Chain A
């Protein structure tokens, strides 16, 4: 049973514009959420995280928004750059269990 879902398998955006990636979860015990970026044949690179006590966390061009009532989070990348083209994974964990549950990933392509 997929507890973390990324319903958009791909996203294409023009350079300089905003990329918005969405993620939904079903497990109400999740209280920590992360976004990772991954290139083929490489390990995921940590981008940004948010704990359930917050609804927004910002780090440079990356902002994560959390809507606990809707069990939904999103990652905003602005402005998008060609180097942002990669697969983005949403992940979640519960504080009593450090295991991460991953979404299926969204492939972002930034067009010049």
Chain B
């Protein structure tokens, strides 16, 4: 149980294009999902909290117009990196919290983004 998937697992795109990453909770419902970013050899940095049916909450320093988040259902959140640039290249990871459970977050496998 508590499986979270992400798609795609990796993507290479040209500078200026937009990239959408999907995060799905496969066997539970998640009113809250989270998007993280990890740079090489660093810890996970929370970017935003995705709330089903409402606007996402962004952490300080994260551009909401740059990183669009949509949480349209209890099992799906999407992160769109708009007008991607090479500095957006990173490892993006989502997590989900089972609405019936405790505060444990279950993580997806991550998406490696490379912007050329």
Contacts and interface: CB of A to CB of B under 8 A. Distances in A.
Interface of A: 32, 34, 36, 41-46, 49, 51, 89, 93, 95, 98-100, 102-105
B8 interface: no
> Which secondary structure dominates chain A's binding surface?
strand
Contact of B43 (A43, A45, A93, A102): A102
B30 to A, nearest CB: 11
Contact of B107 (A32, A36, A51): A36
18 contacts: A32-B102, A36-B107, A41-B91, A41-B110, A43-B6, A43-B93, A43-B95, A43-B108, A43-B110, A46-B107, A49-B104, A89-B44, A93-B103, A95-B103, A98-B49, A99-B49, A100-B95, A100-B105
Main secondary structure of the interface of B (DSSP, over half): strand
A51 B93 CA distance: 25
B interface, size bucket: 20 to 34
A100 B102 CA distance: 13
Contacts of B105: 34, 46, 98, 100
B43 A89 contact: yes
A44 B97 CA distance: 14
